[in-house]
């Protein structure tokens, strides 16, 4: 491991209020409840396609996204229900998307792997591993060129993406162009069923990233406060005009890769050991022990999350589907008509339906 | 109507780029050696000196990375023009173009459009062999969500770019590498052209020849030869490869009753096949003969001049096919 504390950045003020602790715990619980319900709904065939659950990794999304401002951009992978939810996409819009409904956050075109939301600058939901990293560089470049001071782009990806060429191209471009992008590697140790050791010649991921001459370090991704603290520190630098950074969050998914995965490649003892470090129960226990919250508070969080999820399920169930007549919408966006000169040949073309029988 | 000037295809494209940079702060160019070097084909020469390193931005040799960055910058409010040295190199960015640029609008339910312009070269004729000379524009024309255009004249090289930049969708401009030194008339004030429309470059009533990019001038030369043989050929410059302007083609074929498609790319599964099928479907009852095709031979483009020449359609091939189609030739 490269370092536990990150590079030499002035320690930003890390809020340690009860309010923040409560929010982080409640956020993780919201993801957990939502996704456990998703697994049931998959069994009921309400949700189809691929479904990748984030259960076990909630501390990363909660810790990072709690540091973001509305002007920031977020890009995530196909394991992104939790990121979308915490970024502010409603549970109803996410659930409706997974139900394939018109009211889904992608109008039923995306499904579980492609959640998008313009209002919260949530740029997906990207299912080509590594493919969205160059987009993050471009968003950061646009922020710089348009003078959107203080804006940052946060890009989540798994450790599997680090074997892709696009990871290396994106890191190099980001560092060369000094763009305000935080690369958040969610190292859950398995790219589908392939372990880190069998896919990377160098398993110290921060060391790999650091070779692109940017600050890179490793953080315990099972501890939401560690995640929050590291992100706060990184974003303070980025917002002040600093260049890109890389954080490896060491985490673990408790469920299989997807609903199709029989999970034959992991030692059950290993899974059990990581479950002992469940980011929700460990954090709740810590907060209870220091008197920040009591059992009643925790119960109330679970109850509120269940209520939110059940309302989303009911709404998704009742929502209309897109009319097939709209199938070809959004392939290309209509172009505003050209002012005057259309160039040679433009006048002698009729409407397509008039020419083709 | 303002006075026309003449300029080369290269100068016309450069003028279009200069105008875009000068009139829209959101526009920037990026690609391999577009700045100090001036671009592999010298299209961006002088622009870096005029607009600076931020807006005429060199990239490392990372086609997927910088095309993806172009998509991201477009999402972020910029109007990037990304230069990819050749269509062969664009295959390194195929993931970004096909999996992301073409899909984002639909996949996001209409929320995120990608106003990206990609410029790249296509075509053989400069003895650059099998990794710099292919005509793969038809592959991109296969993909819903992309727009694909191919200027065949200096005037189109000058005036397609502003239309592409005004388009809210990803537009790929294929510049034929053999055309850069061609000189032709350019109206400095004609304004943006409709890039979704084909155009009749030469009227005729004996057959319709459909061509694009580097094949248009060859088709026009063939039409001269055909005229001498008593055959009146109408030549259509496709200009837009996606969407296809089938109405313009159909209107012509329904008058001439014969169609010949000329494609520098390979025959099997090529854009020529799509055009032949579409013409047959739509014009079958007015055709006097099966739709004919002249296409590149099914071989990687070779280096030696005589072999390269033999691998792609030449004027004589087009003339011979047209004569055969009209019953005049062998």
Q: Do B198 and A340 touch (CB under 8 A)?
A: no
Per-residue three-class SS string for B24-91:
CCCEEEEECCCCCCCCCCCCCCCHHHHHCCCCEEECCCCHHHHHHHHHHHHHCCCEEEEEECCHHHHH
> Looking at the 3D structure of chain A, how many domains does it have?
1
Tokens of B158: 């000058």
Residue ranges per structural domain of chain B: 5-186, 199-326
Give the residue-averaged pLDDT of B214-229.
98
Q: What is the pLDDT of residue B78?
A: 97
- Per-residue pLDDT for B121 more than 80? yes
A297 part of a folded domain: yes
Q: Do A330 and B105 touch (CB under 8 A)?
A: yes
What percent of chain A has pLDDT above 90? 86
Exposed e or buried b for every residue in A205-244, given b needs 16+ CB within 10 A? bbbbbbebebbbbbbbbbbbbbbbbbbbbbbbbbbeebbb
Q: CB distance from A77 to chain B under 8 Å?
A: no
Tokens of A168: 């290396």
Identify the CATH number of the domain in which residue A66 sits.
3.40.50.970
* B chain contacts of residue A133, beta-carbon cutoff 8 Å: 68
Name the burial class of residue A16, with classes exposed (0-12), middle (13-18) and buried (19+) by CB atoms within 10 angstroms of its CB. Answer: exposed
**Which residues sit opposite B122 in a β-bridge?**
B176
- Annotation marks residue B132 as catalytic: yes
Angstroms from B170 CA to nearest CA on chain A: 9
Contact (CB, 8 A) for B90 and B32: no
A5 part of a folded domain: no
Give the Cα-Cα-Cα angle B313, B328, B261 (nearest 5 degrees).
35
Integer Cα distance of B187 and A139 in angstroms: 37
Integer Cα distance of A228 and A61 in angstroms: 9
| Catalytic residue of the set B11, B15, B32, B63 | B63
Contact (CB, 8 A) for A137 and A181: yes
Q: CB distance from A342 to chain B under 8 Å?
A: yes
Entry field: residues in chain A: 357
Q: Do A333 and B168 touch (CB under 8 A)?
A: yes
SS3 B148: strand
**Which of A139, A341, A356 lies at the smallest CB-CB distance from B190?**
A341
Contact (CB, 8 A) for B125 and B225: no
ipTM of the complex: 0.95
Integer Cα distance of B278 and B103 in angstroms: 25
**CA gyration radius for chain A?**
22
Integer Cα distance of B32 and B59 in angstroms: 5
Q: Do B247 and A356 touch (CB under 8 A)?
A: yes
Domain B5-186, what fold?
Rossmann fold (3.40.50)
Q: CB distance from A181 to chain B under 8 Å?
A: no
CATH 3.40.50.970 matches B199-326:
no
* B chain contacts of residue A131, beta-carbon cutoff 8 Å: 68, 95-96, 99-100
* A chain contacts of residue B74, beta-carbon cutoff 8 Å: 138, 142
Contact (CB, 8 A) for A89 and B111: no
Integer Cα distance of A111 and A107 in angstroms: 9
Pinpoint the alpha helices (H) of chain B: 9-23, 47-51, 63-75, 87-90, 94, 104-107, 137-141, 154-166, 215-228, 246-256, 271-283, 305-311, 315-326
The 10s digit of each residue's pLDDT in A148-180 is 999 999 999 999 999 999 999 999 999 999 999
Integer Cα distance of B66 and B29 in angstroms: 11
Q: What is the pTM of this model?
A: 0.93
* B chain contacts of residue A108, beta-carbon cutoff 8 Å: 109
The candidate with the shortest Cα–Cα distance to A215, out of A1, A42, A3, A65, is A3
Contact (CB, 8 A) for A210 and A2: yes
Packing angle, helices A91-98 and A18-43, rounded to 10? 20
The 10s digit of each residue's pLDDT in B283-309 is 999 999 999 999 999 999 999 999 999
- Annotation marks residue B142 as catalytic: no
* B chain contacts of residue A100, beta-carbon cutoff 8 Å: none
Q: What is the pLDDT of residue A344?
A: 35
Q: Do A331 and B145 touch (CB under 8 A)?
A: yes
Give the mean pLDDT per block of 10 residues along chain A (357 residues). Answer: 48 64 97 98 96 97 98 98 98 98 97 97 96 98 97 98 97 98 97 93 96 98 97 97 97 92 92 97 96 95 98 98 95 76 36 30
- Between the alpha carbon of residue B190 and those of residues A215, A303, A354, B149, B184, the distances in Å are 51, 66, 29, 19, 14
Q: Do B110 and A356 touch (CB under 8 A)?
A: no
Is B199-326 in the same CATH topology as B5-186? Answer: yes
Mean residue pLDDT across chain B = 96
A148 part of a folded domain: yes
Q: CB distance from A105 to chain B under 8 Å?
A: yes
In chain A, which residue's Cα lies nearest the Cα of B283?
A356
A116 part of a folded domain: yes
Tokens of A324: 């097939």
The 10s digit of each residue's pLDDT in A231-280 is 999 999 999 999 999 999 999 999 999 888 899 999 999 999 999 999 99
Phi-psi domain of A259 (left: phi exceeds 0; alpha: psi -120 through 50; beta: other): alpha
- Between the alpha carbon of residue A310 and those of residues A68, A254, A280, B65, the distances in Å are 27, 23, 21, 41
In chain B, which residue's Cα lies nearest the Cα of A120?
B111
Integer Cα distance of B247 and A283 in angstroms: 66
The 10s digit of each residue's pLDDT in A205-224 is 999 999 999 999 999 999 99
Contact (CB, 8 A) for A250 and A221: yes
Range of the domain at A113: 18-355
Tokens of B70: 């172009």
- Per-residue pLDDT for B4 more than 80? no
In chain A, which residue's Cα lies nearest the Cα of B96?
A131
A143 part of a folded domain: yes
Strands annotated E in chain A: 73-76, 122-125, 153-158, 181-187, 190-191, 194-195, 216-220, 245-250
* A chain contacts of residue B96, beta-carbon cutoff 8 Å: 131, 134
Q: CB distance from A319 to chain B under 8 Å?
A: no
Q: What is the pLDDT of residue A10?
A: 44
**Which of B26, B163, B247 lies at the smallest CB-CB distance from A350?**
B247
Angstroms from B156 CA to nearest CA on chain A: 9
């Amino acid at each position: 491991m490269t370092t536990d504390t990150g590079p030499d950045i002035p320690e930003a003020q890390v809020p340690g209020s009860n309010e923040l602790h409560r929010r982080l715990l409640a956020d993780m619980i919201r993801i957990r409840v939502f996704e456990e319900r998703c697994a049931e709904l998959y069994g009921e065939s309400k949700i189809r396609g691929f479904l990748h659950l984030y259960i076990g990794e909630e501390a990363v999304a909660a810790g990072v996204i709690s540091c973001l401002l509305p002007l920031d951009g977020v890009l995530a992978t196909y394991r992104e229900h939790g990121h979308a939810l915490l970024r502010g996409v409603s549970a109803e819009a996410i659930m409706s998307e997974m139900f394939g409904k018109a009211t889904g956050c992608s109008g039923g075109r995306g499904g579980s792997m492609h959640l998008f939301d313009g209002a919260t600058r949530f740029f997906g939901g990207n299912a080509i591993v590594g493919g969205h990293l160059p987009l993050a560089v471009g968003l950061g470049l646009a922020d710089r060129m348009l003078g959107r001071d203080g804006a940052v782009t946060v890009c989540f990806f798994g450790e599997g993406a680090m074997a892709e060429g696009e990871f290396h191209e994106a890191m190099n471009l980001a560092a060369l162009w000094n763009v305000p992008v935080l690369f958040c590697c969610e190292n859950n140790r398995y790219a589908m069923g392939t372990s880190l050791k069998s896919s990377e010649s160098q398993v110290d991921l921060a060391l790999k990233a650091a070779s692109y001459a940017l600050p890179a370090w490793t953080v315990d991704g099972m501890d939401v406060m560690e995640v929050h603290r590291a992100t706060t520190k990184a974003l303070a630098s980025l917002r002040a005009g600093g260049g890109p950074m890389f954080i490896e969050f060491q985490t673990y998914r408790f469920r299989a890769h997807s609903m199709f995965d029989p999970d034959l490649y992991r030692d059950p003892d290993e899974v059990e050991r990581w479950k002992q470090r469940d980011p929700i129960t460990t954090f709740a226990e810590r907060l209870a022990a220091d008197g920040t919250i009591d059992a009643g508070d925790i119960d109330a969080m679970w109850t509120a999350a269940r209520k939110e999820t059940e309302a989303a399920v009911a709404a998704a169930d009742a929502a209309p589907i897109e009319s097939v007549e709209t199938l070809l919408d959004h392939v290309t966006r209509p172009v505003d008509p050209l002012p005057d000169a259309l160039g040679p040949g433009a006048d002698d073309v009729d409407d397509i339906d008039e020419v083709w029988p | 109507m303002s006075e026309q000037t003449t300029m080369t295809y290269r100068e016309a494209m450069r003028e279009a780029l200069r105008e875009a940079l000068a009139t829209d702060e959101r526009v920037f160019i990026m690609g391999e050696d577009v700045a100090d070097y001036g671009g592999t084909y010298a299209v961006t020469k002088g622009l870096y000196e005029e607009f600076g390193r931020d807006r005429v931005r060199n990239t490392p040799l990372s086609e997927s990375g910088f095309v993806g960055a172009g998509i991201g910058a477009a999402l972020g409010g910029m109007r990037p023009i990304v230069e990819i040295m050749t269509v062969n190199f664009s295959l390194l960015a195929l993931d970004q173009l096909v999996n992301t640029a073409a899909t984002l609008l639909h996949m996001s339910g209409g929320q995120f459009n990608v106003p990206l312009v990609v410029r790249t070269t296509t075509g053989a004729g400069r003895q650059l062999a099998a990794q710099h000379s292919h005509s793969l524009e038809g592959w991109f024309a296969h993909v819903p969500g992309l727009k694909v255009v191919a200027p065949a004249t200096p005037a189109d090289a000058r005036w397609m770019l502003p239309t592409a930049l005004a388009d809210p969708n990803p537009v790929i401009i294929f510049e034929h590498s053999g055309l850069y030194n061609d000189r032709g008339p350019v109206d400095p004030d004609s304004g943006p052209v409709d890039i979704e429309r084909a155009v009749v470059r030469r009227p005729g009533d004996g057959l319709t020849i459909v061509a694009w990019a580097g094949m248009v001038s060859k088709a026009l030369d063939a039409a001269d030869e055909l005229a001498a043989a008593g055959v009146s050929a109408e030549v259509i410059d496709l200009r837009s490869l996606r969407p296809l302007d089938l109405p313009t083609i159909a209107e012509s074929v329904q008058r001439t009753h014969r169609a010949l498609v000329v494609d520098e790319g390979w025959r099997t599964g090529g854009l020529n096949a799509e055009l032949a099928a579409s013409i047959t479907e739509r014009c079958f009852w007015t055709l006097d003969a099966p739709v004919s095709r002249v296409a590149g031979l099914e071989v990687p483009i070779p280096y030696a001049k005589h072999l390269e020449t033999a691998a792609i359609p030449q004027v004589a091939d087009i003339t011979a096919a047209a004569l055969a189609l009209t019953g005049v030739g062998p």
